[in-house]
Structure 1
């Protein structure tokens, strides 16, 4: 049950931030996030496609593919929840699903994903993310590390 709570919490946090961004005037962006010394800029970007606007002219795919992926991840997590152990995998899938569901909500309801921050480091300056994206990446990273550790333990 804790993993379901984590999914809901992470999705809710991202969706609340997105709603806050959406309520602000577009002319107020970009702006520096307080307390970051200019290392994080806030934006109000609407992305109707995948990363970098890929397939923005194919909204049916942009909705169907994430729905299928989120369903698959949810199914994997449901299967794992029936088993003892595998906490890293359960945590990874929960974190990724929290982000995926937040972005999926945007795709299905808003018809675009709200991206709202950019890290001012190197090539990342050109990329605007949201927390959902970070959760998906973090979940995938944890899953990858857990699999490598399990592989090395088995050999």
Structure 2
């Protein structure tokens, strides 16, 4: 139930912000997000494709491929939910699903994803994204970090055999 709640909360948060952005006039954008010293700009962008508009001319693929991936992830989460361990893995997948479901909703219902903010720093200045995207990256980072930690622990747990024939003083 906890992970379902995380998915619902994150999707709802992103969809709620998208709803607010869509209610405003397009000519009001871009504009600075208050209290960010103009480090974050709000936009009202519509992306009919994958990130950066990739494959936007293939709408059916852009809708069905994420649906297949999300279905697989949801099935995997459902399969591991009864297991007592794997809490980090469950959390990572739930966060990914929270963001992915929000963007899938946009793709299926609106036929485009609403992207609404940009961080004005370095190469990120030209990239406009939404919280759903951040959740997908965050969840993926959690899963990746967990795997790295497992590998490091595994490497350090392998002990080299000690030569018992050597005498020490």
With normalisation by structure 2, the TM-score equals 0.90
CA RMSD in angstroms comes to 0.7
Residue 69 (structure 1) shift = 0.9
Deviation per residue, 1:113-133 (Å, 9 max, x gap): 000000000010000000000
How many angstroms apart in 1 are the aligned matches of 2:16 and 2:55? 26
Deviation per residue, 1:31-55 (Å, 9 max, x gap): 0000000100000000000000000
**1:26 paired residue number:** 26
Paired residue secondary structure (1:72): helix
Paired residue secondary structure (1:46): strand
Paired residue secondary structure (1:125): helix
Residue 117, structure 1, aligned to residue 117, structure 2:
yes
**1:55 paired residue number:** 55
How many angstroms apart in 1 are the aligned matches of 2:80 and 2:121? 37
How many angstroms apart in 2 are the aligned matches of 1:150 and 1:52? 33
**2:133 paired residue number:** 133
Residue 100, structure 1, aligned to residue 91, structure 2:
no
How many angstroms apart in 2 are the aligned matches of 1:40 and 1:82? 41
Deviates more, 1:74-83 or 1:36-45: 74-83
How many angstroms apart in 2 are the aligned matches of 1:104 and 1:142? 21
**1:85 paired residue number:** 85
Residue 76 (structure 1) shift = 1.4
Aligned length: 155
Return 5+ residue gaps in structure 2 as ranges.
Answer: 156-169
With normalisation by structure 1, the TM-score equals 0.98
How many angstroms apart in 2 are the aligned matches of 1:94 and 1:62? 22
Residue 66, structure 1, aligned to residue 66, structure 2:
yes
- Please state which structure has a larger fraction of its residues in helix: 1
How many angstroms apart in 1 are the aligned matches of 2:150 and 2:71? 25
Q: Which has the larger radius of gyration?
A: 2
**2:40 paired residue number:** 40
